[in-house]
A and B are shown apart, each in its own frame.
Chain A
């Protein structure tokens, strides 16, 4: 699943949007990985992610997932997911993870040049990149860019175009604040990689366009 890839947006509005995923491999180090995943969770929570969660836990922080409840699920899981809104936090989390040396694979999503620069600053060598080559096929099925910028923050496709459009409309009419809208749109994505800070900023832009 390439769930944190293919986030739509401009270079400008993709700044300060960092996804994080720790993943144990089915073939290499999944057996008994629970304690290591809990250590990773402890580290990322110390850096105040915008959101976190998992499919196993069934919901994300914005939908009320309690960190202790999340930690309990990790014996039957194989990953930890979250997102950050600032470079300082993701960088600090990576420094702590380097020190912890859990051996679990760490994947960070964001602007390529920024992530590579962070890695260089903290003395780690990125191994593999997964590049997005865009959307192909019947693009007439897609909504306008501002909707896609929000919905593609859930790579599993659980945030509907319709909900995004409805929220944009409510924000523009003043029925809902950008913050309320972003929190609502974050709910359906259990993985917790939906960046509600970025969504709030995008909704503020929609407000200005009105």
Chain B
């Protein structure tokens, strides 16, 4: 996003809306730090500028900067995936896709969430480790559109410094791999220069319980008391 210095009256009405704190007060006018801006569009949609000085510049649509909008503005759809958000259905439709079955756990590492944003380089650090682990990495995720080398997790050099509001790495493990996966990833996540929200998708057991909750507590990674639950109302349902 940019602010037209000819129109800006430095009223600062927009300044608090920016999730990346990149709207700055200048001598003549308010301006956006282009390196920090993730092109999420919040400042524009807020419609608080009395002179309509905020605008989406042409360069926001040009690669590689264009990936900022794709990963930051939920209204923008990934051209190849035909869906927005962060480009993945994860467990939302698991009752009809059967993506995660009993005996498996889906894991999602969401970089830059909550509210800090992330450089693509931080995702690369963890992806390189993930690809060395014996796990099934989800390749229909839009992060994979940014890869130079699918075998190593090396990203295209031009995207490494691009900043996005958040992006997700998804992978699948067997029930038996839980402790190993957690122990491998914890030290890696501790070193990244952003925050990561960690999620785990699991089928309910046939008796309606979630046995993984006690396992997670035992390994010192307890689940929060609140979660997202697929209610099993999709049809045709995948029961396995």
Contacts and interface: CB of A to CB of B under 8 A. Distances in A.
B32 interface: no
Contacts of A204: none
Contacts of B227: 5, 109-110, 112, 115, 129-132
A116 B208 contact: yes
A124 B202 contact: no
B157 interface: no
A111 interface: yes
Interface string B67-96: 000000011000001111111111111111
Contacts of A29: 96, 234-235
Interface of B: 15-21, 40, 42, 45-46, 74-75, 81-97, 100, 108, 110, 112-117, 165-166, 168, 186, 189-190, 192-204, 208, 210, 212-213, 216, 221-237
A137 B112 CA distance: 10
Residue from B108, B200, B213, B226 whose CB has the most chain A CB atoms within 10 Å = B226
A191 B108 CA distance: 21
10 contacts: A1-B74, A1-B168, A2-B110, A17-B226, A107-B91, A110-B227, A119-B231, A136-B196, A157-B112, A190-B74
A137 B91 contact: no
Interface in A92-116: 94, 97-98, 101-113, 115-116
Interface string A41-65: 0000000000000011011000000
A124 B108 CA distance: 26
B231 A157 contact: no
B76 to A, nearest CB: 8
Interface of A: 1-9, 11, 14, 17, 19, 21, 23-29, 55-56, 58-59, 78, 94, 97-98, 101-113, 115-116, 119-120, 124-139, 141-143, 148, 151-152, 155-163, 166, 187-188, 190-191
Given A133-B216, A136-B195, A157-B114, A127 B75 contact: no
Contact of B82 (A26, A56, A119, A160): A26
Contact of B194 (A138, A143, A148): A138
Given A1-B74, A130-B200, A9 B226 contact: yes
Given A107-B228, A157-B114, A188 B200 contact: no
Contacts of A134: 197-198, 221-222, 224
A157 B19 contact: yes
A112 B189 contact: no
A113 B227 CA distance: 10
B226 A55 contact: no
Contact of A187 (B46, B82, B166, B202): B46
A85 B110 CA distance: 27
A107 B232 contact: no
Residue from B82, B85, B192, B225 whose CB has the most chain A CB atoms within 10 Å = B225
Residue from A2, A97, A112, A155 whose CB has the most chain B CB atoms within 10 Å = A2
Contacts of A98: 233
A105 B98 CA distance: 12
B190 A152 contact: no
Contact of B93 (A2, A11, A28, A152): A28
A47 B201 CA distance: 29
A6 B208 contact: no
A128 to B, nearest CB: 4
A132 B16 contact: no
A160 B115 contact: yes
B196 A128 contact: no
Contact of A157 (B96, B165, B221): B165
Given A108-B228, A126-B229, A158-B74, 7 more contacts: A1-B87, A1-B168, A2-B199, A26-B81, A134-B197, A134-B221, A137-B195
